[in-house]
Copies of this chain bind each other. A is one copy, B any other.
């Protein structure tokens, strides 16, 4: 679906243009921060997000704490880092780009001949103008990343490698915000905040999450409670599960990880490992009924983002992952070329629109129960039916609505979900929204219920 179709009115267009500007500003605030899985970059990022999400609660877990099979690492603090050539000129400097340093580099202040130094230099020959993104969180290393073109120009001689960093007892930080709905059943929306200065594979996630939060906060009502989670990838979601996993497991209805949501490609959904995940069914439904143009990827624990943790076998949470220009599937991935121009801010707005549509469908889905289930409802009595059978009384336009009413009343038996009913009607679940509201207003149906329930229950 063209996202503009979701807007419909000039007001909405203006509102979306405003959102686009706000997204752009937020992006520019977050981009220059030198994030890692711990340290001030994460804290600064959470502070900026708090301005948009006032209820965002920021937490920390101390270095050395055990989190399942893992341990919170020491906090990395980076103050200064540069490499100077034999002639004393600066080759690379952290000041110029956050990717120049291997993330979590230990301190060094050494004069080294080029040959020895080469083990500490990282380039990407396939993209000779790109600075690659390299990390070494769990084994002490240091190193510099540079474009292959610069690297090629290096001449023999002694270089000066200087990294002023610390690995100190500190904490790992994350943030979460709970947006209350009518029920305690939760929808989890998680993104990560640990990559320095990359666009698609970092900021697309938290920016989309932030603006999705704003949309949901404005909804007139929410059936579900929404839990927004911002964590460093992997160790952060493991920590989150360690601290809040029981709560999440108990309350969760469904959810998604947001990652790499920029680019011109259609929305790409990675299925939840949990085959009963409502989001699996909804996404397949909206695609099948052409409510949304999107593609589906199977679940795999091999590649991906934090859904790998949420889908670890002890949790197996019913969440999927939303992406667009998928990690590993574009050459600029994990390099300095993954920037705002490549990503495109408009694609983030499109992602917000499309994910909001999916959430609306999830809110609407469930099992409904006809309150007059014995024999047909006498529709005319409830103002729902023409009372003469003759052709040509101008009811043609009402006919489709009438058919949907008959289908919905018949299948509102507590056993057929609204997506199933929509597919029997050859329409999308959102096409039934107005009829559901009408029949609820007239007390002819109750619902939605999450679980199946026999009519007599």
Nearest CB of B to A273, in Å: 7
If A387-B136, A388-B134 touch, does A455 touch B375 (CB 8 Å cutoff)? no
Interface segment out of the listed A67-75, A82-90, A168-176: A67-75
Describe A's contact surface by its main secondary structure.
loop
Looking at the complex, which one of B138, B376, B412 makes contact with A69 (CB distance below 8 Å)?
Answer: B376
A378–B141 Cα gap in the complex (Å)? 19
Residues of B within 8 A of A138 (CB): 380, 387
- Structural contact, A375 and B410, CB atoms closer than 8 A: no
A412–B70 Cα gap in the complex (Å)? 19
Nearest CB of B to A291, in Å: 22
Q: Is A316 an interface residue (CB 8 A)?
A: yes
Residues of B within 8 A of A301 (CB): 376, 406-407, 409-411
Which parts of A117-169 form the interface with B (CB within 8 Å)?
Answer: 122, 124, 132, 134-139, 141
Residue of B nearest to A122 (CB): B390
- B interface footprint on A379-416 (CB within 8 Å = 1, 0 otherwise): 01100000111110000000000010011011111000
Interface segment out of the listed A25-33, A237-245, A433-441: A237-245
Looking at the complex, which one of B134, B237, B313 makes contact with A411 (CB distance below 8 Å)?
Answer: B313
- Structural contact, B238 and A407, CB atoms closer than 8 A: no
- Structural contact, A313 and B388, CB atoms closer than 8 A: no
A381–B66 Cα gap in the complex (Å)? 13
- Structural contact, B70 and A388, CB atoms closer than 8 A: no
Looking at the complex, which one of B316, B411, B412 makes contact with A413 (CB distance below 8 Å)?
Answer: B316
Q: Can you list 10 A-B pairs with a CB-CB distance of less than 8 A?
A: A69-B378, A134-B389, A139-B380, A234-B376, A237-B375, A241-B374, A301-B406, A301-B409, A311-B410, A315-B375
